[in-house]
């Protein structure tokens, strides 16, 4: 934590997350000017600082103005990305302080996480400098900030020029990258990602507070291995989770994995009993792994809380209708019989040859007609015994992608008239739908407000957790 008051800190962090001027310090030919290329999508002004005469021509070839020092840059600097060798970092940090930059990301690693005397001493020196000067310092040993809206990135595969409503706070760079890319692949736009590494000045509670008040962020997700100030983490998480949903993925939950967190981010082990208590007390939603993190983010972004657990389930084929009923009822959710009125309406048009409408509904041949699909969904909408609807998308090879397109349209249209939560899911596995078509369909569905999950089981797990969270909210 820095010395500045919280309100002031939010504004200053906002400047760092939404910069107008970015300077990359120490970009090099050896990694093909990776950091400058990461920032090539940046919508503001981008400069380079590099003193090595061998490196400068390559930078200038990219069309980027290079300076010998931060002090030479002729305008206010909002964001510095520092990728210099470890021994040079104190000098750059001092320049940042002298120039009065908005903030600095220290990509450089080799500090306390190495458990070497040199690394620890250097980290302490940088920390002391930054804290005394109240410098917004992200890292060290991190990837920094990804804000697709303004094109600040830490990877060239990251998409820019889009904006979403889920942010990710990550103690790990690779998990931070993974989250952004996975969201992209699943048709979900990201608000902001921060990879904060050793978190010596700005720690996870600072980012929690920032995203809590960021109007663009609706759901906060985080990957943490440890925290410098456990009590502050606990109190901040408890406070923020009352205002916005917070998904927490804790790395290092077993003695074996805790050994890895020690060398990765120099984090101490937390006993599972204490961690469980913390989750219960704060109201944060515990998740594990990238899939569950993204799934729960979708659930929270596209659905208002609901506590009713009676589901209308529609699958295409028989086996999947059994699987979908198994998966959701195993989560403690109910799959009730429909009303007689619903059954009478269904019987009037539903072909039961290769199909069934008892709930779960096996669409079978009826799914060949989108009119019938809409009629089935309308009946579920009108049935008072049903609180929410889940539709399994079916299997789509290259030959029937037109059916997928029509189905997506049907669901998005139905979403506009239904008052009930509407979720969808793929049937699971990686071979059943053409990947490109799947990504396009996911984007369209989710832009239409219908979350789509990677498999029946993943949808069911997410809904079980979502309903438990909704009940917790109701008790508040």
Partner 1 sequence: MSYNEIFQHARASGRTLLTEVEAKAVLEEIGVPVTKTRLARSKEEAVRLAGELGYPVVLKIASADVVHKSDIGGVKLGLHSAEAVGAAYDEILANVKQAQPSARVDGVSVQNQARPGTEVVLGMSKDPQFGPVLMFGLGGILVEVLKDVAFRIVPLTKRDAAQMVREIKAYPVLEGYRGMEPAHIPSLEDTLLKLSEFAEQAPEVREMDLNPVLAYKDGLLAVDARIVLEDAG
Q: Which residues bind partner 1 (CB under 8 A)?
A: 226-227, 230-231, 234, 268, 270-271, 273-274, 276-278, 280-281, 475
CB of 280 to partner 1, least distance (A): 7
Nearer to partner 1, 133 or 269 (CB): 269
Token pair, residue 309, equals 């657990």
- Of the pair 3, 271, the CB lying nearest partner 1 is at 271
- Shortest Å distance, C-beta 115 to partner 1: 18
Q: For residues 292 and 309, is the Cβ–Cβ distance under 8 A? A: no
User: Considering only CA atoms, which of 293, 312, 294, 327 is closest in space to residue 357?
Assistant: 312
Instruction: Kindly tell me which of 128 and 280 has the beta carbon lying closer to partner 1.
Output: 280
Q: Which DSSP letter does residue 147 get?
A: B
110 is written with which tokens? 């080799």
Number of CB atoms found within 10 A of residue 43's CB: 15
Please identify, using beta-carbon distances, which residue of 68 and 280 lies nearer to partner 1.
280
Using DSSP bridges, classify how beta strands 361-362 and 311-315 pair: parallel, antiparallel or unpaired: parallel
Closest distance to partner 1 from the beta carbon of 278 (Å): 6
Q: C-beta of 204: minimal distance to partner 1 in Å?
A: 13
**Minimum distance from residue 235 beta carbon to partner 1 (Å):** 9
* Shortest distance, position 290 Cβ to partner 1, whole Å: 25
Q: Which residue lies nearer to partner 1 by CB, 82 or 237?
A: 237
**In terms of CB distance, is 419 or 476 closer to partner 1?**
476
Cα gap 422→328, rounded to integer Å: 14
What's the min distance (Å) between Cβ of 170 and partner 1? Answer: 19
* Tokens linked to 280: 């219960």
Whole-number minimum distance, CB 242 to partner 1, in Å? 11
Q: Cα(first)–Cα(last) distance of the chain, in Å?
A: 29
Helices 204-213, 6-17: axis angle to 10 degrees equals 80
Does the N-terminal peptide bond of residue 124 adopt cis geometry, omega within 30 degrees of 0?
no
Tell me whether residue 132 or residue 276 sits nearer to partner 1 (CB atom).
Answer: 276
Nearer to partner 1, 77 or 266 (CB): 266
Handedness of CA 14, 17, 18, 24 (dihedral sign): positive
**CB neighbours of 404 closer than 8 A, spacing ≥ 6?**
393, 394, 396, 433, 437, 441
Measure Cα distances from 114 to 110, 172, 173, 204, 374 in Å.
Answer: 6, 15, 16, 21, 59
């Amino acid at each position: 934590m820095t010395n500045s008051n919280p309100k002031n800190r939010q504004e200053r962090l906002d400047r760092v997350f939404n910069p107008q001027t970015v300077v990359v310090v120490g970009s090099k030919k050896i990694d093909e000017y990776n950091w400058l290329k990461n920032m090539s999508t940046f919508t503001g002004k981008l400069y380079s600082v590099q003193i090595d005469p061998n490196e400068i021509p390559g930078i200038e070839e990219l069309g980027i103005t290079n300076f010998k020092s931060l002090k030479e840059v002729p305008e206010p600097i909002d964001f510095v990305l520092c990728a210099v060798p470890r021994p040079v970092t104190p000098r750059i940090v001092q320049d940042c302080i002298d120039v009065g930059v908005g903030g600095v990301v220290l990509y450089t690693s080799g500090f306390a996480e190495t458990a070497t005397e040199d690394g620890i001493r250097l980290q302490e020196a940088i920390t002391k400098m930054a804290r005394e000067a109240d410098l917004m310092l992200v890292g060290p040993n991190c990837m920094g900030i990804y804000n697709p809206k303004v094109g600040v990135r830490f990877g060239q595969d990251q998409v820019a020029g889009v904006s979403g409503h889920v942010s990710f706070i990550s103690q790990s760079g690779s998990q931070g990258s993974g989250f952004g890319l996975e969201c992209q692949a699943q048709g979900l736009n990201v608000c902001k990602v921060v990879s904060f590494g050793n978190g010596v000045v700005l720690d996870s509670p600072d980012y929690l507070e920032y995203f809590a008040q960021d109007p663009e962020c609706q759901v906060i997700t985080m990957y943490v291995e440890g925290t410098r100030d456990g009590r502050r983490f606990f109190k901040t998480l408890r406070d923020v989770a009352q205002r916005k949903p917070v998904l927490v993925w804790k790395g290092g939950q077993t003695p074996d994995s805790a050994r890895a967190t020690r060398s990765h981010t120099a984090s101490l082990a937390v006993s599972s009993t204490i961690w469980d208590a913390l989750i219960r007390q704060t109201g944060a939603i515990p998740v594990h792994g990238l899939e569950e993190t993204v799934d729960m983010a979708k659930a929270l972004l596209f659905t208002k809380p609901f506590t009713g657990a009676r589901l209308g389930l529609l699958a295409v084929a028989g086996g999947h209708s059994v699987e979908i009923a198994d998966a959701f009822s195993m989560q403690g959710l109910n799959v009730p019989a429909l009303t007689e009125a619903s059954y009478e309406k269904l019987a009037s048009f539903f072909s039961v040859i290769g199909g069934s409408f008892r709930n779960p509904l096996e669409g079978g041949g009826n799914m060949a007609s989108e009119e019938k699909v809409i009629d089935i969904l309308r009946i579920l909408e009108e049935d008072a015994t049903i609180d929410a609807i889940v539709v399994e998308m079916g299997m789509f090879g290259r030959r029937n992608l037109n059916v997928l397109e029509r189905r997506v349209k049907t669901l998005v249209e139905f979403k506009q008239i239904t008052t009930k939560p509407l979720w969808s899911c793929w049937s699971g596995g990686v071979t059943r739908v053409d990947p490109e078509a799947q990504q396009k369909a996911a984007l369209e569905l989710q832009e239409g407000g219908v979350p789509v999950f990677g498999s029946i089981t993943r949808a069911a797990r997410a809904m079980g957790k979502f309903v438990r969270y909704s009940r917790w909210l109701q008790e508040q």
